[in-house]
Amino acid sequence: MCIDFSLGMEFLVAGYENGHIALFDLQTYKLVKVITDVHDTPVLAAKIYLINKVKSSVSFLSMEQAGKVTRTKVNTKDFFKKSTKDGLYDKRFKHPRSIAVQHIDDRFIKSKWASRGLIAVGASSEVVVC
């Protein structure tokens, strides 16, 4: 299991051994969403990298044991709205280890940094920065 807090402590993302990911709202102490269709193997790392209060969304990265890295965006106001997922790296990493992100807040939503946020993914034999 892995967990990560958002920079302002508003949200917590948790990854589980069954491949599921859960997002919690720490202001209301409620579960926002459980996502069951992202990973097939245990989630080793999860990092929140963008909270967009204007669009009521939280975006995070997650990495599974098989080496797949996925970016997921969750609507925090509508529990039934489907989450969007992008496969950044599909089973590329052998022996995946960690994810690091540059936290982006509302001040940067309209800047070039919002679309180019800095992400680093590490494995036992390589590090990729994008």
Domain ranges of the chain: 2-129
Could you list the beta-strand ranges (E) of the chain.
2-5, 11-15, 21-25, 30-35, 43-52, 57-64, 69-75, 84-89, 96-101, 119-123, 127-129
pTM of the model: 0.79
Contacts 24+ apart (CB under 8 A), 4-9: 4/46, 4/47, 4/48, 4/60, 5/48, 6/48, 6/51, 6/58, 6/103, 7/48, 7/51, 7/103, 7/105, 8/51, 8/105
The mean pLDDT of 61-72, rounded to a whole number, is 88
CATH topology of domain 2-129: Methylamine Dehydrogenase; Chain H (2.130.10)
Instruction: Compute the distance between CA of residue 66 and CA of residue 81 in angstroms, rounded to an integer.
Output: 28
Q: Does residue 14 carry a pLDDT above 60?
A: yes
Band (74; pLDDT cuts 50, 70, 90): very high
Tokens of 55: 């669009």
| DSSP letter, residue 93 | -
pLDDT of residue 54: 81
pLDDT of residue 44: 92
Instruction: Compute the distance between CA of residue 25 and CA of residue 40 in angstroms, rounded to an integer.
Output: 25
pLDDT digits (tens, 9 = 90+) for 33-61: 999 998 999 999 999 988 888 888 999 98
pLDDT of residue 104: 57
pLDDT digits (tens, 9 = 90+) for 109-130: 555 545 555 666 667 676 776 6
pLDDT of residue 85: 73
pLDDT of residue 90: 65
Q: Does residue 87 carry a pLDDT above 70?
A: no
Q: Does residue 99 carry a pLDDT above 80?
A: no
